[in-house]
Structure 1
């Protein structure tokens, strides 16, 4: 995928997380910071790779599995 296509997929993923999980997102170059109640993360892309790193608080940690599956599903469908 081209850099623009990877960025577009990353933007769609960030938008999906905002809508589905009520987090806020803020872009800084090729990184988007994701923050919400019990959620603090960064998503970046470089050289065709997307890196998603999320820290979950104690109460939100029970959603790790569903959140991980949602991110993986989205990337499988949109990044190939």
Structure 2
């Protein structure tokens, strides 16, 4: 795949989260803090988690929970990366 070292992790994540990548969500958080999953085949998927960020224009940011080569996301298609 071309991602052989720990230094390649950020590049792997950014190669998945590209314009047009599909965004899925399982909507399974009782607290309403749902983790969206961004999918781009054939590379894999990235699971994100919302975090409060008062300094951000929107008031929140998304951090990476995990990324792996699984190619099928669970949940409802909610949009695409712009």
- The structure in which a higher percent of residues are strand is 2
If the length of structure 2 is used for normalisation, what is the TM-score?
A: 0.29
- The structure in which a higher percent of residues are helix is 1
Higher relative contact order (CA 8 A, sep 6+): 2
